[in-house]
């Protein structure tokens, strides 16, 4: 009896000859790979732009002698640098009345608290999307393995129905099954590498924001020192 066996062992031919479950696994892995490279492109541009903005902010803050000078330099720049300076200005304005009766330690603590929240928010915003890469990198090999196991089960069923162990019967089904594992690795390896690259880049971005925050705290401290150089003397009641 002549068996109707697939002879096209190209990737596309194996995909077309595969079981519907294996096809669904391969399509899902191909979509995951597309998501990985889309995130790589979008996040690379976002990190590059974010680092350029925050580095300009660090330079502006370092060149300023007072908080107002830094605010004027960053007035229309946008980004976390401007938010850090504006938050320090707002807290200083809210605490202006209390500075005449209390020291500046409380103001410094409040400014540091607000700046730390802005730093955390900027880091979370920059990290968005990287969790998808971690998920793809950790699950894609197992999804591909599931497709392989399912395909090999079907291959053995085909062997049983054909009642032969001829290599021409065994090879196509196993090749189709192994294609799912290969696609799982193709989806997972770039996702893991890109995730690690982004983790290092975001850590560097976080450090630059910390430098900007430290610069703002120095400006607040300097402004307080200027304020206490010639303190106003309040009249005493007789």
In sequence order, which residues have a C-beta less than 8 Å from that of residue 43 and are 6 or more positions away?
Answer: 129, 130, 198
Positive or negative CA dihedral for 18, 22, 24, 27? negative
Summary mean pLDDT of the chain: 82
Determine the pLDDT at residue 10: 67
Q: With bands split at pLDDT 50, 70 and 90, how would you rate the model's confidence at 119?
A: very high
> What burial letters (b/e) apply to 187-196, b meaning 16+ CB within 10 Å?
bbebbbebbe
Q: pLDDT tens, 170-196?
A: 666 777 778 888 899 999 999 999 999
pLDDT digits (tens, 9 = 90+) for 17-43: 667 888 888 899 999 999 999 999 999
Q: In this predicted model, what pLDDT tens digit does every residue of 206-227 receive, in sequence order? A: 999 999 999 999 988 888 877 6
Whether the pLDDT of residue 157 is over 80: the answer is no
C-alpha atoms less than 13 angstroms from C-alpha of 203 in its C-beta half-sphere: 6
Distance separating alpha carbons of residues 161 and 159, to the nearest angstrom: 6
pLDDT band at 164 (very low <50, low <70, confident <90, very high): low
**pLDDT above 90 (res 91):** no
Tell me which of 58-62, 66-70, 158-162, 177-181 is least confident. 158-162
Contact 137, 191 (CB under 8 A): yes
Cβ–Cβ < 8 Å for 54, 208: yes
Contact in structure between 222 and 65 (CB atoms under 8 Å): yes
Domain range summary for the chain, segments of one domain joined by +: 11-227
Nearest Cα to Cα of residue 74 among 90, 54, 92, 52: 54
* Tokens matching residue 19: 């079981």
């Amino acid at each position: 009896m002549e068996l109707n066996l697939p002879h096209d062992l190209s990737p596309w031919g194996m995909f077309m000859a595969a079981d519907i479950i294996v096809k669904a696994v391969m399509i899902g892995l191909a979509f995951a790979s597309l998501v990985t490279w889309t995130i790589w492109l979008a996040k690379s541009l976002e990190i590059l732009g974010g680092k350029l903005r925050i580095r300009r902010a660090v330079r502006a803050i370092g060149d300023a002698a007072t908080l107002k000078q830094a605010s004027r330099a960053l007035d229309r720049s946008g980004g976390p640098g401007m938010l850090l300076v504006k938050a320090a200005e707002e807290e200083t304005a809210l605490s202006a009345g209390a500075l005449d009766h209390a020291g500046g330690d409380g103001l410094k603590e409040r400014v540091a608290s607000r700046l730390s929240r802005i730093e955390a928010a900027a880091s979370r915003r920059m990290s968005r999307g990287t969790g998808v890469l971690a998920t793809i990198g950790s699950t894609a090999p197992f999804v591909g393995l599931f497709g392989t196991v399912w395909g090999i089960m079907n291959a053995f069923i085909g062997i049983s129905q054909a009642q032969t162990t001829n290599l021409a019967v065994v090879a196509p089904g196993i090749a189709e099954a192994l294609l799912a594992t290969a696609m799982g690795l193709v989806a997972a390896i770039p996702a893991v590498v890109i995730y690690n690259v982004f983790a290092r880049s975001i850590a560097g971005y976080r450090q630059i924001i910390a430098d900007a925050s430290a610069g703002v705290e120095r400006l607040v401290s300097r402004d307080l020192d200027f304020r206490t150089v010639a303190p106003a003397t309040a009249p005493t009641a007789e």
